[in-house]
Amino acid sequence: MYAPLEFEDAHYSQIEYQRKQQQYWDSIRLAIFTLAIVAIIGIAIGIVAHFVVEDDKSFYFLASYKVTNIKYRENYGIRTSREFAERSHQIERMMSRIFRRDFPGSSRFIKSHVIKISPDEHGVNILVVLMFRYPSTSSTAQIKKIIENTFYQSLKIKQLPLTISKPSFTLTSIDSKKMRNLLNSRCGIRMTPSNMPLPASSSTQRIVQGRQTAMEGEWPWQASLQLIGAGHQCGASLISNTWLLTAAHCFRRNKNSHQWIITFGTTIIPPAVKRNVGKIIIHEKYDNKTNEHDIALVQMTSRVEFSNVVQRVCLPDSSIKLRPKTSVFVTGFGSIVDDGPIQNNLRQARVETISTDVCNRKDVYDGMITSGMLCAGFMEGKVDACKGDSGGPLVYDNRDIWYLVGIVSWGQSCALPKKPGVYTRVTQYRAWIASKTGI
Ligand code: ARG
């Protein structure tokens, strides 16, 4: 009775053993199969990622070359002159033509910035910063070769407006710090946090009845002029690493420099940078009844470091004349309704210049606008600076370089029809500013 059972038992365990072994190999096979699938998916993702999110990095170069078909002009030495602006823009357009098209990998070229135009016995010398984006794995030497080859190729096959002397061309790789220092030597340039110049602003947010606030680094010359203990009083514009321009009427109640401070950044609290005031220079002929010569200079006790959020604005040549209806921007921490509170976030508004003739009409400001004033806003009202914006900038964008054309000065209430904002006309005071600061 036991024997068959015993036999059966032995037989059973052999089958069981084979089954177990089969199972074992099955699971090994499954594991290998799974691993293979995972590996294939992984490689596929890797390949896709390599092309889609290829890790690009900025590469900067300083190029120098001679141009032989133009003559040097005195004003090329003055970076804010119209001659420099026009010539450098032509050069920057030409650099785009050289590098934009038929370039291996297409849009590797980002932008160029002319740093200097200097005299040379055979014409002029150009110093220009070139910005490219390449995969972070590329070597600088490799990129330099490509750029040089493209440059020489373009000289041969492209019709360029300027005659570049090929042997004079030199190219040096620079790091982002050096690039920033070179660009910072220019005024009126806005930078994004990644060191790329910000293009012209297209936004139309208002100070009065506005909603959105200004972006970080969009108006890096904007400062807040504050009375210790009483907070924000006025706006101001940075014109060098120690000097600011503001309105004279901001100091009507208090002229003691020890009681004032300057802050930078897009919020009043917290500020990005804070400085004490060393000197206040109010225009000698400021008249608080007529609002004439409403301009003042403020010097900080220590200089500021230029960065993405702190940058100086360009002062316009005294010869620059803006046509009526030119788009300009006003920024400030002022109230968004008449007699409203100060805003902690910087605001901006696009307004248009209005001719003095129109602004002096009987139904507008009836002859109160003098040659040192500039009207800007809209005849129908709606968009305007307001209380607390005083002293702040009215800026004009000429090819991504920003110029201070006005200082917020006065207005009847805010944003009323036929009562546009009145600004101090900065071009009228160009010589006065130079006489006090050397800028
Ligand atoms: N005077 C005013 C101030 O102290 C600002 C004047 C600007 N007014 C205007 N409607 N744009 O802040």
The reply to whether 34 falls in a domain is no
* Separation of CA 411 and ligand 1 centre (Å): 6
Q: Judge if 174 and 292 occupy the same domain.
A: no
Does one domain contain both 158 and 265? no
Residue 268 shares a structural domain with residue 339: no
pLDDT (mean) for 45-71: 81
Mutate which of 387, 412, 416 to test ligand 1's pocket (most atoms within 8 Å of Cβ)?
Answer: 387
Shared domain check, 272 and 363: no
Q: How far is the CA of 420 from the centre of ligand 1 (A)?
A: 10
CB 226 within 8 A of CB 368: no
- Of the candidate ranges 77-86, 110-119, 141-150, 195-204, the one whose mean pLDDT is the lowest: 195-204
pLDDT, position 5: 47
Atom nearest to 415 CA in ligand 1: 10
The confidence score (pLDDT) of residue 48 equals 61
| Pair 336, 209: CB distance under 8 Å | yes
Q: Which residue has the higher pLDDT, 318 or 88?
A: 88
Q: Give catalytic status of residue 249 as yes or no.
A: yes
- Cα 341 to middle of ligand 1, angstroms: 13
What per-residue confidence (pLDDT) applies to 53? 58
- What are the tens digits of pLDDT across the range 254-307? 999 999 999 999 999 999 999 999 999 999 999 999 999 999 999 999 999 888
| Marked catalytic residue, from 81, 88, 201, 390 | 390
Q: What is the CATH number of the domain that holds 90?
A: 3.30.70.960
Confidence of residue 318 (pLDDT cuts 50, 70, 90): confident
Query: Among the three residues 281, 300, 319, which one is the final residue of a domain in this structure?
Result: 300
Chain-centroid distance of CA 357 in Å reads: 34
The protein residue with its alpha carbon nearest to ligand 1, atom 2, reads 387
Quote the domain boundaries for residue 279: 222-300
131-182 pLDDT, tens digit each: 998 898 999 999 999 999 999 998 998 889 999 999 999 999 999 888 888 8
Distance CA 425, CA 82 (A): 18
Q: How far is the CA of 236 from the centre of ligand 1 (A)?
A: 13
Could you tell me the pLDDT band of residue 212, with boundaries at 50, 70 and 90? low
**Is 232 one of the catalytic residues?**
no
Same domain, 159 and 60: yes
User: Which one-letter DSSP state was computed for residue 429?
Assistant: G
For a mutational test of ligand 1's pocket, the pick from 382, 389, 416, i.e. the residue with the most ligand atoms closer than 8 A to its C-beta, is 389
Q: How many CB atoms lie within 10 A of CB 146?
A: 17
Q: How far is residue 378's CA from residue 383's CA, in Å, rounded to a whole number?
A: 7
269 domain-assigned: yes
CA of 385, closest atom in ligand 1? 11
For ligand 1, what atom is nearest to the CA of residue 234?
Answer: 12
pLDDT of residue 199: 59
pLDDT at 175 (0 to 100): 92
For ligand 1, mutation pick of 290, 331, 354, 410 (most atoms within 8 Å of CB): 410
Q: How far apart are CA 204 and CA 331, in angstroms?
A: 11
Residue 240 neighbours by CB distance under 10 Å: 17
- Residues 155 and 72 occupy one common structural domain: yes
Residue 103 — pLDDT band, cuts 50, 70, 90? low
* Number of structural domains the chain divides into: 3
Q: Which of 39-48, 76-85, 160-169 bottoms out in mean pLDDT, i.e. has the lowest?
A: 39-48
Last residue of a domain, one of 135, 166, 183: 183
How far lies 436's CA from each of 62, 280, 330, in Å?
35, 11, 25
Residue 193 lies in a domain: no
pLDDT value at residue 10: 53
Question: Do residues 144 and 235 share a domain?
Answer: no
Residues 92 and 178 in one domain: yes
Residues with CB under 6 A from ligand 1: 334, 384-390, 408, 410-411, 414, 421
Instruction: Report the CATH number that the domain containing residue 332 is assigned in CATH.
Output: 2.40.10.10
Percent of the chain residues topping a pLDDT of 90: 63
Give the three-state DSSP class for 137: coil
User: How far is the centre of ligand 1, averaged over its atoms, from the C-alpha of 386 (Å)?
Assistant: 5
The answer on pLDDT for 206 being more than 50 is no
Is residue 194 within 8 Å of 408, Cβ to Cβ? Answer: no
Compute, in angstroms, the gap from residue 283 CA to the centroid of ligand 1.
Answer: 19
| Predicted confidence (pLDDT) per residue in 407-421, tens digit | 999 999 999 999 999
Rounded mean pLDDT, 49-78: 85
Establish if 318 belongs to a structural domain: no
Q: What is the pTM of this model?
A: 0.74
51 is a domain residue: no
Give domain status of residue 316, yes or no. no
Same domain assignment for residues 344 and 276:
no
Query: In ligand 1, which atom is closest to the CA atom of 249?
Result: 4
Q: Is the pLDDT of residue 211 over 80?
A: no
Grouping H, G, I as helix, E, B as strand and the rest as coil, residue 266 is coil
Determine what percent of the chain is predicted with pLDDT higher than 70.
86
Summarize the confidence of residues 62-85 as an average pLDDT. 89
The mean pLDDT of the chain is 88
Nearest to 292 by CA among 370, 392, 404: 370
Question: What are 239-251's pLDDT values in tens digits?
Answer: 999 999 999 999 9
pLDDT at residue 377 greater than cutoff 80: yes
Higher-scoring residue by pLDDT: 350, 40: 350
- Locate the ligand 1 atom nearest the alpha carbon of residue 422 and give its number: 11
- DSSP 8-state symbol, 142: H
Inter-residue contact 227 to 260 (CB < 8 Å): yes
Give domain status of residue 234, yes or no.
Answer: yes
Residues 293 and 368 reside in one and the same domain: no
Give me the pLDDT at residue 100, please: 80
Instruction: Please tell me the least confidently modeled range out of 35-39, 156-160, 223-227.
Output: 35-39
- Compute the distance from residue 410 Cα to the ligand 1 centre, in Å: 4
Given 201, 224, 294, 384, which residue is catalytic?
A: 294
Both 176 and 82 in one domain: the answer is yes
Residue 216 has pLDDT above 90, yes or no: no
Task: Please tell me the distance between residue 241's alpha carbon and the centre of ligand 1 in angstroms.
Answer: 26
Nearest alpha carbon, ligand 1 atom 1: 410
Q: Any catalytic annotation for residue 50?
A: no
Please state whether beta strands 296-300 and 243-246 pair in parallel, antiparallel, or not at all (unpaired): antiparallel
CA-414 nearest atom, ligand 1: 10
Residues 170 and 273 in one domain: no
Is 29 among the domain residues? no
Report residue 3's pLDDT band, with 50, 70 and 90 as the boundaries. very low
Given 113, 232, 249, 283, the catalytic residue: 249
Of the candidates 132, 153, 183, which is a domain's last residue?
183
